[in-house]
Amino acid sequence: MRQVRRGPAAPPGGGQGAPPYGVPQQPSYVDGQGYDGYDSGYNTGQVYGTPGGRGPGGPGYGDGYGGRAPRPAPNWRRRIKVTSITVVTVLVVTLVGTYFWADSKLNREVDLSKVIDRPEAGEGTNYLIVGSDSREGMTDEQKKELHTGSAEGKRTDSMMILHTGSNGSTLVSLPRDSDVEIPTFVGSESGKTYQGTGRHVKLNAAYAEDGPELLVRTVEFNTGLRIDHYVEIGFAGFANIVDAVGGVEMDIPQDIKDSKSGADLKKGKQVLNGEQALAFVRTRYALAGSDLDRTKNQQKFLSALAGQVATPGTILNPFKLYPTMGAGLDSLIVDKDMGLFDLADMFWAMKGVSGGDGTSMNMPLAGSSGGNLLWDKDKVKTLVEQLKNDEKVTVSGD
C-alpha cells in the first residue's frame, strides 16, 4: 500500500497554487494588514493621517517612519529685525543715489574766486539770488507762450539778497534801476583788470557788462556785505519748476492785465501755473509802484514757491519730488562752492520768510536821479551792519 505523509491540510482552493511544504504562509491583504502591521488605508476606507493611520493625530506621527515633525512657531523678533534692516538699507541706498544724482545736475558755473577786494565775512550766510531774462534753450513757441520776446543774451530781471542766520531770515530786494558805482574788477573771461573810474550805472548793467562775477563785485562794493553764494534762474527754468510742483497758490492783491508780460489775472486766491507765474513776477507796467511793486510780488511768489516745494505732499511723493528737483536743478546756475545742503538751507529760509519767521523788504531808498533809484546810505549802512552781525533787522525798506 502506498504510504501517505500526513501534514497540515491544504487551504481551500489549494492545488497547484498552494505553497510547498516548509514555506511560511504569506500574510493576507484581505483584512488590510501588511508587513509589520502596515495599513495602506485603501481597503478599509480610512483617510490617511486620521487616528489609526500614519499622519498628524495618528500613531507613529513623527516617530521616524516617514511622518513630519511639528512646524516650529515663527520667530517674529527675527523677522521684524530682518525686515527693518532691509527697509533701512533700501532707504539709505535711495537717499545716497538721490544725493549724487542731484549733486551732478547742479550747474556750478560761477567762480567767486575771481571777485577781488572782497569784504570780510560776517555771521550767517548771504545768498545773491538772480532772476535773468535768459531765453537759452527756449523754442520760438515757448517764447511766444511766455511772452518773453527774442532778445539775445541775458540781463538781470530781479536781484535779491537772502540772509540766513540764528535771528531768522531776511530777504532784501535790490531794484534793477538802483544807482551803483562800477568798481575796479577783473574780467571773468579775459582775466584783465579794469580800473574803476567812478562810473555810475543801473545795477542790472553790471551783469550785462561782465556777468555774475561783476554783479557780485558791484553789490559787495556798494553795500560792504560779503556774498557767500550765487544762485541764478532763467525764464524757462522758473516756469518749469512751477509746473513741476503742480502750481503755486497766490492771493493776487488786484486785477492785473499787462500786454508786455502777458499777465491777465483777477484779484483773489488762485493757483498759478508756470506761464501765469512768470507773467506775474515780470509785471511792472500795470503796477502803481512799477519796479518797486514788482520786487514785492517777486518776494511773495518766491517765498510761496519755496513753501510749496517744502511741503510733505512734494517731499514724500517721488512722482512729484523728482520732477521738481530735476526741473529746478537743470535750470539753476550756482557758484562753484554751492552744495545741495546750501541750496536746501536757502529754500527753507525762503519758506520761513513766507511763514512769518523772517523779514522781506526792498533796499531803503532816498529818491531818484536821472531815472536811477538812490539808496538811503544811512539806512543801508545800518542794515548791512545788522546782517553782518546776524542781528534782528530793524531797518525798513520801501
Torsion of CA 295, 121, 230, 155, to 10 degrees: 60
What pLDDT does 119 receive? 95
Average pLDDT over residues 4-31: 49
Q: Return the H-helix or E-strand segment holding 90.
A: helix 76-105
Write out the three cell numbers for 206: 553790471
Greater confidence (67 vs 254) lies with 254
pLDDT at 63 over 60: no
Greater confidence (96 vs 232) lies with 232
The CATH superfamily of 109-389 is LCP protein (3.40.630.190)
What distance in Å separates the CA atoms of residue 223 and residue 239, rounded to the nearest whole number? 31
What pLDDT does 66 receive? 54
Q: Return the H-helix or E-strand segment holding 258.
A: strand 256-258
Contacts 24+ apart (CB under 8 A), 320-323: 320/244, 320/245, 320/246, 323/244
Average pLDDT over residues 333-356: 86
- Amino acid (1-letter code) at residue 41: G
Distance of CA 326 to the CA centre of its chain: 8
What pLDDT does 52 receive? 46
Rg (C-alpha) for the chain, rounded Å, is 42
Q: Which of 94-98, 107-111, 238-242, 301-305 has the lowest mean pLDDT?
A: 94-98
Average pLDDT over residues 133-153: 55
What pLDDT does 155 receive? 67
Percent of the chain scoring above 90 in pLDDT:
34
What distance in Å separates the CA atoms of residue 186 and residue 211, rounded to the nearest whole number? 12
- Parse the chain into domains and list their residue ranges: 109-389
Greater confidence (68 vs 203) lies with 203
Average pLDDT over residues 304-324: 77
What distance in Å separates the CA atoms of residue 328 and residue 105, rounded to the nearest whole number? 9
> What confidence tens digit (pLDDT) does each residue in 201-222 have?
999 999 989 999 999 999 999 9
What distance in Å separates the CA atoms of residue 161 and residue 144, rounded to the nearest whole number? 31
> What confidence tens digit (pLDDT) does each residue in 263-290 have?
899 999 999 998 898 888 888 888 878 8
What distance in Å separates the CA atoms of residue 246 and residue 272, rounded to the nearest whole number? 9
Average pLDDT over residues 374-391: 95
What pLDDT does 72 receive? 78
